[in-house]
Amino acid sequence: MNDDVKGQEMTTPAQTPAQTKGASEPLLKVDGLVKHFPIKKGLLQRQVAAVQAVDGLTFDVRPGETLGVVGESGCGKSTMGRLITRLLEPTGGRIEFEGTDITHLNTGKMRPLRRDVQMIFQDPYSSLNPRHTIGTIVGAPFKLQGVKPEGGVKKTVQEMLERVGLSPEHYNRYPHEFSGGQRQRIGIARALALRPKLVVADEPVSALDVSIQAQVVNLLDDLQDELGLTYVIIAHDLSVIRHVSDRIAVMYLGKIVELADRKDLYATPMHPYTKALLSAVPVPDPRRRGVKSERILLRGDVPSPIDPPAGCRFHTRCWKATQICTTKEPPLIPLATGHQVACHHPENAADQAPEDTTLLSAAKEAVEVVTVVAKAEEEPTPEPPAKRVEK
């Protein structure tokens, strides 16, 4: 897919290497990435604690693919996006882009790389400067990077506007004259103006209406084919993520708990959290309302990232948690081809700690496994029995 570079009529010098390299060479390599936000208190502003937003992420992004990152709010997925685009300074770990270590590059040294790594933001209302025309906004990357495209900036910008489904006449208009979907297209045009290699999109469609969402998803798809882009798409909507991604990372409290190909992840989720997450998605099919055999309802909320649980971070809400889960953190290891999981007692795979079988008392209350029909029939009781899910 990445070799498909038709439509590259513009000459930008730093364009070729990644696309000629083999697919085996990752475009982005992240190793043990950590970001802690300090919490300071008192007159001397001493650090008393830290929000462990991202705590040890290791993954690769291969050229031409789309990596989807999914998780609940507060799991650190947006922080991760801002770290790999280096809008935030990592606390620890290493980020490599095309073999270059960019972990601690300063603003100046980072600037040439900004051409290759771009970001699409969630909110199309606050990410466009209301006082600038669309031409200025989409043309800004050329000015900042000192790029002089063939035929002039204006012509290139207008081509870009056309490519994202806007009209070249929109060049002199202001953001307020556009609808949400159109603004998101402007944001996309700006991100893609310099033909980046890696585009990080943080919830690119969640602020948009359903019909518009589909337009933007299709647009991102087309542009990837046309321009040979690599995407990291961050979203909380599991249906959208399934539609756009090749591989998917599931995050929980600052860690990747599962990383797998799209098909494997949705067909055979291994981490209990992934399973619960998938079973919670409402299915747009009224006939399936009663047919869906079980739904795992997680109790309670995600714990605070200031003081995350020891061991496996999911053990406080997991229905399979045993003693080992409270003390030993499960490593993210491949349990099937291209399917990495961090769990002692995974679903759809061999138990990693078979000797430890005694369930924690909390585990018994952690979830409610319900058949939706049976639930509607039975008398509502304040303490529904928690069933153990058999593997």
Partner 1 sequence: MTELSKTGAAVGEPVAGSPAPSAFLEVRDLKVHFPTDDGLVKSVDGLSFSLEKGKTLGIVGESGSGKSVTSLGILGLHTAGQYGARRARISGEIWLGGKELLGADPTDVRKMRGREMAMIFQDPLSALHPYYSIGKQITEAYRVHNDVDRKTARKRAIEMLDRVGIPQPDKRVDSYPHEFSGGMRQRAMIAMALVNNPELLIADEPTTALDVTVQAQILDLIRDLQKEFGSAVIMITHDLGVVAEMADELLVMYGGRCVERGTAEKVFYEPQHPYTWGLLGSMPRIDREETERLIPVKGSPPSLINLPSGCAFNPRCPYADIPKDQITRRERPELRLVADGHYSACHMAQDERTRIWTEEIAPKL
Question: What is the DSSP track for 121-185?
Answer: -S-TTTSS-TTS-HHHHHHHHHHHHT---TT-HHHHHHHHHHHTT--GGGGG--GGGS-HHHHHH
CB of 97 to partner 1, least distance (A): 30
Q: How far is the CB of 283 from partner 1 (least distance, A)?
A: 5
CB of residue 201 vs partner 1: minimum separation in angstroms? 15
Residue 52 vs 156, nearer CB to partner 1: 52
- Compare residues 28 and 223 and give the one whose CB is closer to partner 1: 223
CB of 255 to partner 1, least distance (A): 17
Looking at residue 159, its amino acid is E
28: β partners: 61, 97
What single-letter DSSP state applies at residue 22? Answer: -
* Minimum distance from residue 74 beta carbon to partner 1 (Å): 9
DSSP codes, 202-217: ESSSTTS-HHHHHHHH
Instruction: State the minimum distance, in angstroms, from the CB of residue 80 to partner 1.
Output: 17
Residue with tokens 């018994």: 364
Would you call 101 helix, strand, or coil by DSSP? strand
Reading the block at residue 8, the tokens are 């590259």
If the CB atoms of residues 96 and 368 are measured against partner 1, the closer one turns out to be 368
Q: How far is the CB of 297 from partner 1 (least distance, A)?
A: 6
Nearer to partner 1, 333 or 376 (CB): 376
Min CB(205)–partner 1 separation in Å:
10
Q: How far is the CB of 319 from partner 1 (least distance, A)?
A: 13
Measure the CA–CA gap between 317 and 359, rounded to whole angstroms.
12
Question: Taking the mean position of all CA atoms in its chain, how far away is CA 342?
Answer: 18
Q: Write the CB contacts of 371 (distance below 8 Å, at least 6 apart in sequence).
A: 290, 292, 293, 294, 295
In the complex with partner 1, the residue whose CB is nearer, 121 or 252, is 252
Q: How far apart are CA 251 and CA 76, in angstroms?
A: 8
Cβ proximity to partner 1, 137 vs 298, nearer residue = 298
Residues binding partner 1 (CB under 8 A): 72-73, 179, 181-182, 209-215, 217-218, 221, 236, 238-240, 242-243, 262, 266, 276-289, 295, 297-301, 370, 372, 375-376, 380, 382
Could you give the CA distance from residue 162 to residue 181 in angstroms, rounded to a whole number? Answer: 15
Residue nearer to partner 1 on the CB measure, 60 or 246: 246
Measured from the CB atom, the residue of 207 and 335 that comes closer to partner 1 is 207
Nearest to partner 1 of 86, 315 (CB atom): 315
Q: What is the DSSP string of 288-350?
A: GTTT---EEEE-S-PPPTTSPPSSSTTTTT-TT-BHHHHHSPPP-EEEETTEEE--SS-TTS-
